[in-house]
Chains A and B, each alone.
Chain A
Amino acid sequence: MTDAISADDIEELIPADHISLSEPPAEKEACIESLLDLLVDGGRVENRERALEALLERESETTTGVGMGIGIPHAKTDAVSRPSLAFVRSQEGVDFGSMDGEPATLIFMILVPETGGEEHLNILSSLSRALMHDDVRDRLHEAEDEATVQDALREAIA
């Protein structure tokens, strides 16, 4: 495995405009689209339709609801040319069909280029490792602005 992501990567992976602190749609697929739109608006996605297709295909294989209130829809697709991360959080919870039955309240999207090799697994595992800590999840829930979300990720991933 190549190195996991580091704190220095956060600004490149997830600039403030990839973060939304307003309530996302309550339904999983619509929620995934709203995350995708953050990346589209951020100029990261060359082909929205193809990116969405890749994300939904991955979901149909098995859900990306990993439990503990976390959903991480992700895909490897040539619709993006560099690794990109987006974040929304939900007060209501979005049903991601996770095995522990917990609705997702912290939801991240990862898109990596087709040529990214194991990069998406590295981002996915670094993020999962960070999110296993209660204090990290609490900070993400309590963050009042995008910069605080970035700081929480930076410190958790360092």
Chain B
Amino acid sequence: MTVERTVTIVPEAGLHARPASAFVQAVNDHEAEVSAGRPDGDLVQAASMIAVTSLGVGQGDDIKLVADGPDAEAVLDELERILTTPEEELDTDDG
């Protein structure tokens, strides 16, 4: 199942620093292939920190997420939560 969603980024840091590491971690914790990118641009592997960093998406920018796999819906829910939670309220589960 392939699902797609576009989310506007809330954390002040953008998709960078803690939000970025929570994002990549969440992708790696789910059974789904996820790609991400600007709505009008190329998509990159969301499981790779350097790829996510290369997008350079900041606060207020839109990001398109495409997920494929058994956890597709769940991973997009989690990614949306990370991208729409102000950084200071983000509780990251690094364990």
Contact = CB atoms under 8 A, between A and B. Distances in A.
Nearest to B21: A62
A99 B61 CA distance: 25
Interface stretch (A12-20, A31-39, A63-71, A86-94): A63-71
B56 A58 contact: no
Contact of B25 (A99, A122, A129): A99
Given A99-B24, A99-B28, A58 B17 contact: yes
B84 interface: no
Contacts of B16: 121, 124
Interface string B13-33: 010111011001100100000
Given A58-B17, A61-B17, A62-B21, A121 B49 contact: no
Interface in A61-110: 61-63, 65-68, 70, 72, 98-100
A131 interface: yes
Contacts, number: 57
B8 interface: no
Contact of B50 (A4, A58, A67): A67
Interface in B24-62: 24-25, 28, 48-51, 53-58, 61
Contacts of A131: 50
A4 B38 CA distance: 15
B61 A1 contact: yes
Nearest to A123: B56
Interface of B: 14, 16-18, 20-21, 24-25, 28, 48-51, 53-58, 61
Interface of A: 1, 4, 58, 61-63, 65-68, 70, 72, 98-100, 118, 121-122, 124-126, 128-129, 131-132
Give 8 nearest A-B pairs by CB, closest first.
A125-B56, A128-B54, A66-B50, A129-B54, A128-B53, A62-B21, A66-B49, A67-B49
